A and B are shown apart, each in its own frame.
Chain A
Amino acid sequence: METVTAAGLTRRFGKLTAVKPLTLGLPAGKVIGLVGPNGSGKSTLIRMLLGLMKPSAGQATVLDEPISSPGRYLGRVGALVENPAFVPGLSARANLTSLARLRGLPNARVDAVLDTVGLTGRDREPVKRYSLGMKQRLGIAAALLPDPALLILDEPTNGLDPSGIVEIRSLLAQLGTAGRTVLVSSHLLSEIEAICEHLVVIRFGELLYSGPITGLLNAAGQHVDLRAEHDADTDRLVQALQAHGWQVTGSAADGVRVSAGAQDAAPINRAAHTAGITLRELSVVQDSLEDVFLAMTGGTEQQLMAARATAAGRGAR
């Protein structure tokens, strides 16, 4: 059974296509990670699913209802979209009470969600006095108000310090245990790989992967990290390896990364030796999910920004 389905779902903003025709199905009762670099269309996709934005083309369903009729399913959906938004001068309790009344829910739900996110006792303080972590927890509390079958959290750890991230991560793990579907978006895979069973990867609005997280791990390969005795030899080392046909995926003063397996370690060492370079470090490393993700989405944030700028330049012409 699928909680969310999409068929050719598209969203354009003028000449920019934020979400390219997207076809996917998200399984029910699982914690699903929606991952992609900044500006990849995650929030746009979420806004379409929540009826905040209309798609330019295509169709989608949420809890078996079409997204063209959000009134039919939003009563069973809770969401935190981007930053938690509240009336700063009102208390957490008043903010939640206002939302509970709008949904026609009893005040008991306010107590219940405050308890779930651990804000009982601080609930009468104005939200403007809350730390970012407390605001995020309040945002999750607001999303939990309708006791949703589908919980959508867009970048719930955005701007948090490491302890806040750990706190929210354990809260999310707890929320995903009750048979509820939780869709969590993030631009950092490391943030959600520990809690998600299913992963959706998008880049520049395009679906790159949708499936179990183990499927992505199986696709992970190996690489060899090596370092010349003298940093000045790094460039020569890269040339020597490339001359032997190896693909150098990373090069910096502190070392070289080669896309290769354990069986290549000895030949790589010999190639370096033949070029007159002594290695002080050579190790075979299993690719992490992060490596697979970066390879899939095209590299670091800076590389992506450059790629996007180039793509935008081409589109403008």
Chain B
Amino acid sequence: MVTDIANAVRSELVRTRRKGLMLGWLGLTALAAVLINVVMFQVVESGGAAPSGGPGVSFPTAAELARPDGLVAGLGAAAGMFGVVTLSFWALVTATDYQTGLIRLLVSAQPRRWLLLTGKILALVLWTAAVTTVAVVTDLLVAPAVAGGSGIDVSAWRDNVPSTLAEGWLNLFCALVVWGVFGLALAVVTRSAAIAISVGVGYVLVVESVIRAAAETIGDRLPGSTLSALAQGGNTALSYASALALGAAYTLVSIGIAEVVLHRRDITD
């Protein structure tokens, strides 16, 4: 069993080792990390309240930025942005199997379909770890440079840097994995990268914003808000433990849906 899972992961890693695809994912993530830090230190005013963000972005206050974990605040602030990028790439990798007809070969080679799904998830989790590392390293390089001109005292950032980075990495990684699993489930259900990405991005940019505006209490527990809270290590609306539990629940439900659909549906692609 373990050998079969390892084989499925190794097989998936070979297929996902595509320069264009992975450089795109890593590049967009690094770009998002640069952008959020540059913008964040321009809009957050010393002593003021948190500026309003936008879909996928929620800015911290200047006081929060000045804390030791302010070093990785950009990662939490743009968790939705990182999430949408991750969702898109997981969806793209998954839907490619259907759009190229490769799924026929894969299911013929490994008829236990849950193994194919497990292999894909684990391989993409490994890639997500690499992407998270790129985001954290970019943040580490950019945040101190742009913080200097903002007038916010960031001297506390020097305290316990490794632990802050590790915590920031773990929180963002967990959030991105859940985002990715959403993308995978959408791609398995729709069998189309374009539709899966449209539904995912449309949900974050439109549907969840509307629901949040209508009912804030429910909105705080919706996927986008939950994963932002998870990436931030918890926030005023949702504790870290609650965000973690909800994130795990969303992951299990998404994997469950993908597994049932993949198992039951005929391979007609």
Contacts and interface: CB of A to CB of B under 8 A. Distances in A.
Contacts, number: 92
Given A101-B10, A102-B110, A47 B102 contact: no
* Most B Cβ at <10 Å: residue of A81, A86, A99: A99
A82 interface: yes
B7 A52 contact: no
A81 B104 CA distance: 7
Contacts of B105: 79, 81, 85, 99, 142
B266 A53 contact: yes
A98 B108 contact: no
Interface residues of B, number: 33
Interface string A63-81: 0000000110010010101
Contacts of A81: 101, 104-105, 108
A74 B111 CA distance: 7
B155 interface: no
Interface in B103-127: 103-112, 116, 119
Instruction: Count chain B CB atoms within 10 A of each CB in A52, A97, A101, A142 and give the residue with the most.
Output: A101
Contacts of A50: 104, 107-108
Contacts of B204: none
A93 to B, nearest CB: 10
Q: How large is the interface on A (under 10, 10 to 19, 20 to 34, 35 or more residues)?
A: 20 to 34
Nearest to A152: B108
Contact of B109 (A74, A83, A87, A90): A74
Interface of A: 47, 50-54, 70-71, 74, 77, 79, 81-83, 85-90, 94-95, 97-99, 101-104, 142, 145-146
Given A47-B266, A98-B14, A102-B119, 15 more contacts: A50-B107, A51-B107, A52-B267, A79-B104, A79-B105, A79-B108, A88-B100, A90-B18, A94-B17, A98-B15, A101-B14, A102-B8, A102-B11, A102-B110, A142-B105
Interface of B: 3-4, 7-8, 10-12, 14-15, 17-21, 96, 100-112, 116, 119, 266-268
6 A-B pairs closest in CB distance: A85-B101, A102-B11, A52-B267, A98-B14, A101-B11, A70-B111
